[in-house]
Amino acid sequence: MRGLLGHRAVITGQSQAVPQPIAQNELWDDVFSPRLGGNRVARQIFLRAGITTRHAAVDPRETDVSGWSTGDRMRRYVTEGQALGSAAAAAALAEARLDPSQIGLFVVVSCTGYATPGLDIRIAEQLGLGLDTRRLLVGHMGCYAAVPGLQAAADFVRAQGLPALLLCVELPTLHMQKSDDPSDLQTVVSHALFADAAAALVIEPDAPVGLELLHTTAVTIPGTEELMTWDVTAHGFRMGLSPQVPDVLAGQVEDAMTGLVSGFGHTVDEVAGWAVHPGGRRIVDVVAERLRLGDDQVAESRAVLDEYGNCSSPTVLMVLGAIRRQRLLRAGEPLVAMSFGPGLTLCSALLRTVC
C-alpha cells in the first residue's frame, strides 16, 4: 500500500434509478391546475420549466400526500428510498464488476428523509456489504451534496486503498405541500421542478479506466441564507426558493471555475464536459452565459432536466453519467461537475479521463 493519500480515486461504475414517469403537462392538468384554479402564471411556470417528464415514488394523480404528517412521509421515504437506492447501487457495483463485500466505505447522501436505522444500514444489508464496511451519512445539504459526498468517498479511497460506494437518493415529491394559493410562487416553482431519483458511483484506487477525481471546491455566498431554505414542518419539508437564486449564483461561477481548473494547468476552454446541475432552466442558461458555453456543451444538463426534472443531489451525477455515455472522451481530458444549493453554495469537482 502507498502512503497516506497516495492512491488515485477513479470512478469505475455508475448508475441511476427512478420510479414511474409522469408527463409534466399531466401533472399540471390532473393535479395542480384544479388546485390552483387554472392560474395562468402557475401554468406558465409548469409548462415553461424545461421539463417534459418527471418521476415520483408516489403518483400524485392517485395519492395526495399534501395532507400527510411528517411521520407518514418519513415512513414512506424509508420504503421507497431503500428500493430505489438499492437498485442504483447494485447496478453501479455491477458495472464496476465488484462484489459488494469489496466495498470499504458506503456514503449515503440525502436531504429528503430521516430514519434510524438509516438508509445506509438498510441498503448495506440488502446489498450484502461486509459487516465491517464503514458508513457515512451526508444529510440536509441539498442539491450540491453529491460533491462533498464524492470528496469524502475519494479521500477514503486515496488513504485506505479500498473501493468506496457513493449513493445519492432523494424523494422530494413526498413533501408536496397544500398548493391552493397561486400567489405562493415559491411553492408553485418547487412543485413544478422537483422529482425523485437515486444515483450511485463506485470509486476504486488506481483503476486503469474511468474518471479520476482530482479536486473539489466550495464557495458559500454570505448573506444569502434566506434565498433557499428547506424547513421541517408538521406536514413534511417546505422549500423556500427565491427567483434571485440563478443570478446570485451566476455571479460566482466564472471565478470559481477558473480557480478550479487553473490549479491543474487547464483553462475553462479546455474542459471536455460540463456536468452543470440543472436546478432549473434559468440556472443552466446563466451558467452557460457566464462561462461562454455553447448549447452543445450544456446539452446533457438540459436533457436531464427535460427527462427527469430537478432530483436534488442525484441530478449532477445523472448529468455526469450522460456525458460519460454520450461523449467520446480522450485520455487526460478534464471534466467539471458543479451543483448549487442552500447557503447559497456552489460546489464543483474537477475530474480527468483515465483510459
High-pLDDT (> 70) share of the chain, %: 99
| pLDDT band at 1; cut points 50, 70, 90 | very low
90-104 pLDDT, tens digit per residue, is 999 999 999 999 999
Q: Each residue of 24-63: pLDDT tens digit?
A: 999 999 999 999 999 999 999 999 999 999 999 999 999 9
Task: Note the pLDDT tens digit of each residue in 161-217.
Answer: 999 999 999 999 999 998 778 888 999 999 999 999 999 999 999 999 999 999 999
| Packed helices 146-160 and 314-326: angle between N→C axes, nearest 10 degrees | 70
Distance separating the N- and C-terminal Cα atoms of the chain: 22
Report whether pLDDT(2) > 70. Answer: no
Please enumerate in sequence order all residues whose Cβ is within 8 A of that of 251, keeping only pairs 6 or more positions apart, or say none. Answer: 290
pLDDT of residue 178: 87
Instruction: Give the 3-state secondary structure of 122-155.
Output: HHHHHHCCCCCCEEEEEECCHHHHHHHHHHHHHH
Q: What is the pLDDT of residue 3?
A: 39
Residue-wise pLDDT for 154-172, tens only, equals 999 999 999 999 999 999 9
Average pLDDT, the chain: 95
DSSP per position, 315-349: HHHHHHHHHHHHS-PPTT-EEEEEEEETTTEEEEE
% residues pLDDT > 90 (the chain): 94
Dist. CA 143–CA 277, nearest whole Å: 8
The answer on pLDDT for 224 being more than 50 is yes
pLDDT at 5: 54
Residue ranges of the chain assigned to CATH 3.40.47.10 = 9-205, 210-354
Quick: pLDDT tens for 306-332: 999 999 999 999 999 999 999 999 999
Which CATH code fits 210-354?
3.40.47.10
Q: Quickly state the pLDDT bin for 250 (edges 50, 70, 90).
A: confident
Pairing of strands 134-139, 105-110: parallel
Classify 9-205 by CATH class: alpha beta
